A and B are shown apart, each in its own frame.
Chain A
């Protein structure tokens, strides 16, 4: 690990200002991803700004009937919050399906959104990686890419975003609130928060220099059954090969509306409005689920060892929709 200096920030604005003042700075919250990467020299900040003491560690009701989740709220506290369990079950389940008990006790809401890909080649500093070292190439495209992306990929990068939490938040249309070094605030819909890799896979979010996440807003819960299904290589403590966060409203025979977000497939949580429109007022039968899967998977391409993700996504979606309707 490279040497760094360390300081604590006392508010979101203070954190943002400190970050703006240090070119090589990074925020550290739970540290469960950043320190892992620093030990491997994948990350090498020269200055760490501790954002565990910003006074943003609460989950509050909003006047609209939703929740405002402070950036410091631990994944375990968010998953266990009774309001989340009762009204946003898809989020609670997504959080609980991620990492381990110890990691969830440290990992934070803001940090979870900003965690980096688990692409093997990103982690391996002896291999080229356009995300770690722009312009060096991508070893994953022709390499072993079982866990990597099949949607929204680019010739530069096929990494996936590893978060479960963000997938559920995408289905719930969460909004990320930020504070900039000048104290200005922004509300970024989660759909616009993460970026596709394109030509600059090293730029993963639309945050500006120094901008810090203050909270995540959940709108009032949508009506319908909430499901999070995660398919992975072992039963617990593994990243998703494919995951589906679904909110499905139905009358037993027909689907009234469906929200579907997917993890494990792309550089950001994946959601396809056309697929959801196709399910609106559609009969709750396999043909409808298949037609929706066609739309979700439009443009999908495998890179060899991850080809299986395409049929797996289709089957997982069909299973989730059938479960939503049949219980």
Chain B
């Protein structure tokens, strides 16, 4: 959200513009943050600029969540926050002290795969695997949304609960890009996990 007209005048000062103006950079603002990730509480002191994704990867060494575009366009960084899927690259760690965060590492383990992970293996729902943690976290969040009766833009009747099919899954998963184009197998895996 912008701070009304005042926000616009901020831009006019040229702060942060890449026009080569001399500016005195503000020092980093270090902030204590308590993050609850995969059931474990971590007390960190972070530069306020740290995204949730960078906190997970660089500070907690949970490198399952991937940095693809870092701008919310690819979905590789998708994690679950209080059960909801979000792009962890487009939110600040300092904004999540009260939240329960689940990453791919918290969904399942090698000996106890989450049903969605097992379905991706069974259907070969990946090639290089880089987008896969985001795909799986997103798919788990998406099934929760469908179970709650949320429509999508391709749901014919908004008043009815949706029935998941290939078309619905494609639309609902459009925030996760797979450059290997494993989409048919990803859809098959999600359909199976949907039960």
CB under 8 Å from chain A, chain B span 65-85:
70-72, 75, 78, 84-85
Q: State how many residues of chain A have any CB contact under 8 Å with chain B.
A: 78
Known: A35-B90, A93-B153, A133-B17. A51 touches B28 (CB 8 A): no
Once bound together, how far apart are the Cα atoms of A209 and B150, in whole Å? 37
In the complex, the answer to whether B86 meets A106 with C-beta atoms within 8 Å is: yes
A114 at the interface (CB under 8 A from B): yes
Q: Are A133 and B14 in contact (CB under 8 A)?
A: yes
Count of chain B residues with a beta carbon within 8 Å of a chain A beta carbon: 62
Answer whether residue A207 sits at the interface, using C-beta atoms and an 8 A cutoff: yes
**B94 contacts partner chain A, Cβ-Cβ < 8 Å:** yes
Check A133/B72 contact, CB under 8 A, given A28-B1, A50-B95, A125-B19.
no
Picked from A3, A97, A213, the residue with its CB within 8 Å of the CB of B49 is A3
Which residues in window 277-298 of A have CB below 8 A to B? none
- A253 contacts partner chain B, Cβ-Cβ < 8 Å: no
Instruction: Report the bound CA distance from A73 to B1 in whole Å.
Output: 13
Q: Which residues of B contact A117 (CB under 8 A)?
A: none
Query: Of B100-108, B112-120, B141-149, which binds chain A?
Result: B141-149
Q: Is A101's CB under 8 angstroms from B145's CB? A: yes
Closest to A237 in B: B174
Seen from chain A, the residues whose Cβ lies within 8 Å of a Cβ on chain B are 1-6, 19, 23-32, 34-36, 38-39, 41-46, 48-52, 71, 76, 79-80, 82, 85-86, 89, 92-93, 96-97, 99-103, 105-106, 108, 110-111, 114, 116, 125-126, 131-134, 200, 202-205, 207-213, 235-237
Number of A-B residue pairs having CB atoms within 8 Å of each other in the complex: 203
Does B22 have its Cβ within 8 Å of any Cβ on chain A?
A: no
Write 25 A-B pairs (CB below 8 A) sorted by A numbering. A3-B27, A4-B26, A24-B15, A32-B87, A34-B1, A35-B90, A41-B16, A43-B16, A48-B92, A80-B148, A92-B158, A96-B152, A96-B153, A100-B72, A101-B172, A101-B175, A105-B84, A106-B91, A110-B1, A114-B2, A133-B17, A203-B5, A205-B5, A207-B4, A209-B5
Residues A31 and B90 in contact, CB atoms below 8 Å apart: yes
Assembly CA distance A105 to B82 (angstroms): 11
Known contacts A96-B151, A116-B2; 13 additional CB pairs below 8 A are: A2-B15, A6-B29, A28-B95, A45-B7, A76-B145, A80-B151, A92-B151, A97-B153, A103-B175, A131-B11, A205-B5, A210-B3, A235-B171
Known: A32-B87, A100-B174. A41 touches B17 (CB 8 A): yes
Using CB atoms, name the residue of chain A closest to B173: A101
Closest 5 CB pairs of A and B: A44-B16, A100-B175, A207-B4, A125-B18, A236-B174
Q: How far is the CA of A48 from the CA of B8 in the complex (A)?
A: 15
